[in-house]
Amino acid sequence: MKEGMSEAATQGTLPDAGAVVPAIASSAAAIRLDPKGRISEATPSAAAMLGFEPQELRGRSLKDLALEGWQAAADVATARVRFGATESFELALKGRSGRRTLVEMTARAPNEDGSGALIAWSERRVRRSAAQADIETDPQGVAYGLMRTQEAERMRVAIELHEEIAPVVVMAKYMIEDAISRMGPDVSPESTRTLNDAVQQLRVVITELRRISTDLRPRQLDDLGLLSTLEWLCRGVEQSGRGLRVECRLSVAEADLPPRLKLDIFRIVQDALANVAQNPGAARAVVSLYATSDELCVTVEDDGPPRREGLGGLGLQSIRKRVEATSGRVLFEPQGPRGALIGGAWRLQSVLERER
């Protein structure tokens, strides 16, 4: 029996798959990803769904198995799983014969022993999803696909900085500190001072690596949710020393937020606050996330002067493209009741249909 897979797993059932997807616990289709995001193990059920033998899936990535137009989604899903996200997601996979299979996947966070994340999946009995239709026929879907590709790349870089580069720098700092502690009395003060300066510089590098990694992809978005992440973002902008007061008004529950929009809403607020912070005439900003009878809305208002460039500014263009790519409508007032306003609104019924 292969090491790492139980007898139950070799028969097509992972013993803990029921905790991941109870509906398929009796005959689990599941894979395990190694720390690099490659398939290290697969049950016969998972392989057979795509027309493969289990050993043929080893070493492949979800991107390798994804249908054309879904590779970016596969990259995002893999990165999120490596980051510890456990919510369900959909992927369209291509089997050996070319058959298209839409599957719903649910992941469990990587084990502490480094054995990787477990992903169980089940086939969705639908002709094709709205997301796939977007990618194939809708220019907005194409734009959203490009954004997902960009987010996947940002997440990949964030993971490499956090898990591969930062630990090396930390180890180098520890080695220098250990060398300093072992120095004898005959070592010149100049040498000791130089090594201490090197340690200080490495501390700065570690701090910057963590900051860049967080800017690329805030891990708390997956760990704590959008509301906590927005509050963290507002505090960070307020404490940045730019003299900007930021008020966060969040009047929706985390459970009521469509998972598909959480990252986009965060990026919209992030870009809008960055735009406000660059406006020397703005001293206060208000971030609002709320729901009306049929729409989910996010806005950022400030008390600065009117936007002379309209939506032509770089940050505002990014907001407009993101809102439109997710089938929302742009909210923009160059001079609202309290100042300028930028944001987006999405019809809840339309979002829920896309989620399904």
**pLDDT tens figures, 190-222:** 888 999 999 999 999 988 888 887 777 777 787
- Can you tell me the distance from the alpha carbon of 59 to that of 38, in angstroms, rounded to the nearest whole number? 5
Q: With beta carbons less than 8 A apart as the criterion, state whether 284 and 244 touch.
A: yes
- Can you tell me the distance from the alpha carbon of 34 to that of 14, in angstroms, rounded to the nearest whole number? 16
Confidence at residue 131, expressed as pLDDT on a 0 to 100 scale: 45
111 alpha carbon, distance to own chain's centre: 19
Amino acid (1-letter code) at residue 265: I
Confidence at residue 143, expressed as pLDDT on a 0 to 100 scale: 54
Confidence at residue 310, expressed as pLDDT on a 0 to 100 scale: 55
pLDDT at 86 over 90: no
Q: Look at the block and give the residue holding tokens 């950022």.
A: 300
Q: Look at the block and give the residue holding tokens 């169980």.
A: 120
Q: How confident is the model at residue 5 (pLDDT cuts 50, 70, 90)?
A: very low
pLDDT at 265 over 90: yes
- Can you tell me the distance from the alpha carbon of 105 to that of 86, in angstroms, rounded to the nearest whole number? 10
What's the chain's Rg over C-alpha atoms? 24
- Can you tell me the distance from the alpha carbon of 20 to that of 157, in angstroms, rounded to the nearest whole number? 28
Would you say the pTM of this structure is higher than 0.95?
A: no
What is 253-313 written as a DSSP string? -GGGS-HHHHHHHHHHHHHHHHHHHT-TT--EEEEEEEE-SSEEEEEEEE-S---TTGGGS
Question: Do β-strands 245-250 and 284-291 pair in parallel, antiparallel, or remain unpaired?
Answer: parallel
274 alpha carbon, distance to own chain's centre: 20
